[in-house]
């Protein structure tokens, strides 16, 4: 059950419970020699991993690896391998393309995916905010919403169903022409009607049932998508209006914000500018009760209809 490095020595650190993944044909088939990868600058760092710009076979790639602090932790290694395996099985134009996986040893795992030249949606929206870009939904924003809905519909159509579980503007990446692809399947799980695993912090994109630790399914992703629509519209982070304008004059703590959301007393904001249909769709996605939200496929259908209703000069 030990793990064999390229030099053929056995590394016992893997323990028996990880060997199934090493023997996994998906992981083995996706293997790339470490010495073929050039690592460049650090692009982002999260709770468990970091992402570098890299080069492989004369193309730019994104290289994800565990943080030094989590590299020796078997639970994190297992979770990372599960994420890699999930990414390797996905094939969709609106999901960041997986390229391969490299390792020298169990504690040095690298997952390669396509490099997205346009950065992430959050950064674009910050630029929009700072440059006074008009709020509301223009054709480009509708296209970004439509493409993101395509990706969600694909995930939810898989068998077994895959839930993203962490959809937000930071996890929506852009090409140079502002086409969107979703990424970061670190929290994703095949659906099994489970509650959220520990270790995934609460966030303002989370559906109420997830925050409450209740059973949840695909509709949790639809709620998160509704929050993303608010970001696309206003360029602001969710609930930023509420955080700043509490009665005390001090910013509300995150837990207090979530409490108000759960009680139905607070929602993400919309500008009211432009397409009323987009705001209506978002409001449906943001319903407190999951059964009142549309499915991803229904959202996609609505977005197709809305984008067709544009003047033809705005063709997407």
pLDDT tens readout for residues 6-39: 333 334 444 444 555 567 888 888 999 999 999 9
Of the residues 114, 129, 161, the one at which a domain ends: 114
Does residue 185 have a pLDDT over 50? yes
| Beta carbons of 190 and 161 less than 8 angstroms apart | yes
Q: d(Cα 174, Cα 160) in Å, to the nearest integer?
A: 27
| CATH number of the domain to which 99 belongs | 3.30.200.20
Mark whether 109 and 135 lie in a shared domain.
Answer: no
Closest CA to 275 of 155, 104, 90, 142: 142
Domain containing 103: what range? 3-114
Q: Please say if the pLDDT value at position 194 is more than 70.
A: no
The residue with greater pLDDT, 20 or 297, is 297
Do 109 and 244 belong together in one domain?
no
Q: What does the pLDDT average to over 191-220?
A: 74
Q: Are residues 128 and 63 in the same domain?
A: no
Tokens of 116: 């997205």
Q: Which two tokens stand for residue 218?
A: 């695909």
Q: What is the pLDDT of residue 80?
A: 86
What's the whole-number mean pLDDT along residues 134-158?
Answer: 95
216 or 250, greater pLDDT: 216
* Same domain assignment for residues 32 and 107: yes
Per-residue pLDDT tens digits for 206-229 = 999 998 889 899 999 999 999 999
Cα 3 from Cα 243, distance rounded (Å): 49
179 as an active site residue: the answer is no
Domain count, the chain: 2
pLDDT for the residue numbered 189:
58
- 236, 304: one domain: yes
44 and 92 co-located in one domain: yes
From 114, 147, 173, the end of a domain falls on 114
Residue 292 and residue 178 share a domain: yes
Least confident of 79-83, 109-113, 130-134, 206-210: 79-83
Same domain, 99 and 7: yes
Residue 311, pLDDT score = 58
Angle between helices 219-234 and 276-285 (to 10 degrees): 140
Residues 138 and 257 in one domain: yes
Per the prediction, the chain carries an average pLDDT of: 85
Residue 243 phi, psi dihedral angles, 5° rounding: -60, -40
Residues 129 and 21 in one domain: no
Checking if the pLDDT of 102 tops 90, the result is yes
**Which pLDDT band holds residue 246 (cuts at 50, 70, 90)?**
low
State whether 157 and 305 are in the same domain. Answer: yes
* Residue pLDDT, tens place only, 265-280: 999 999 988 889 999 9
Indicate the residue among 114, 141, 158 that finishes a domain.
Answer: 114
Half-sphere exposure of 287 (CA within 13 A, CB side): 12
300 and 201 fall within a common domain: yes
Report the distance separating Cα 57 and Cα 52, nearest Å: 16
3 state SS of 162: strand
Q: Pick the catalytic residue: 166, 184, 221, 233?
A: 166
pTM for this model (two decimals): 0.85
Q: What is the mean pLDDT of residues 132-144?
A: 94
**Which of the four pLDDT bands, split at 50, 70 and 90, describes residue 202?**
low
């Amino acid at each position: 059950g030990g793990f064999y490095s390229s030099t053929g020595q056995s590394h016992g650190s893997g323990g028996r419970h990880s060997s199934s993944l090493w023997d996994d044909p998906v992981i083995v088939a996706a293997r790339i020699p470490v010495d073929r990868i050039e690592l460049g600058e650090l692009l982002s760092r999260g709770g468990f991993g970091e992402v570098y710009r890299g080069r492989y076979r004369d193309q730019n790639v994104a290289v994800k690896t565990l943080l030094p602090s989590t590299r020796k932790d078997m639970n994190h290694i297992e979770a990372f391998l599960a994420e890699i395996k999930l990414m390797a099985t996905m094939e969709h134009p609106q999901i960041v393309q997986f390229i391969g996986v490299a390792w020298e040893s169990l504690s040095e795992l690298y997952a390669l995916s396509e490099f997205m030249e346009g950065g992430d949606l959050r950064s674009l929206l910050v630029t929009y905010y700072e440059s006074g870009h008009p709020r509301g939904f223009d054709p480009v924003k509708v296209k970004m919403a439509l493409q993101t809905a395509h990706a969600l519909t694909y995930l939810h159509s898989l068998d077994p169903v895959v839930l993203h579980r962490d959809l937000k503007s930071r996890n929506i990446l852009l090409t140079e022409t502002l086409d969107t692809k979703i990424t970061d399947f670190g929290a994703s799980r095949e659906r099994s009607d489970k509650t959220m695993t520990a270790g995934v912090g609460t966030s303002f994109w989370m559906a109420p049932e997830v925050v409450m630790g209740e059973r949840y399914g695909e509709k949790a992703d639809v709620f998160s998508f509704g929050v993303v629509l608010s970001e696309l519209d206003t360029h602001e982070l969710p609930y930023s209006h509420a955080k700043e304008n509490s009665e005390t004059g001090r910013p509300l703590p995150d837990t207090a914000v979530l409490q108000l959301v759960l009680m139905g007393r607070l929602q993400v904001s919309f500008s009211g500018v432009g397409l009323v249909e987009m705001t209506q769709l978002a409001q449906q996605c943001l319903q407190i009760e999951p059964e009142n939200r549309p499915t991803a496929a229904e959202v996609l259908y609505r977005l197709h209809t809305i984008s067709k209703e544009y003047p033809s000069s705005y063709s997407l």
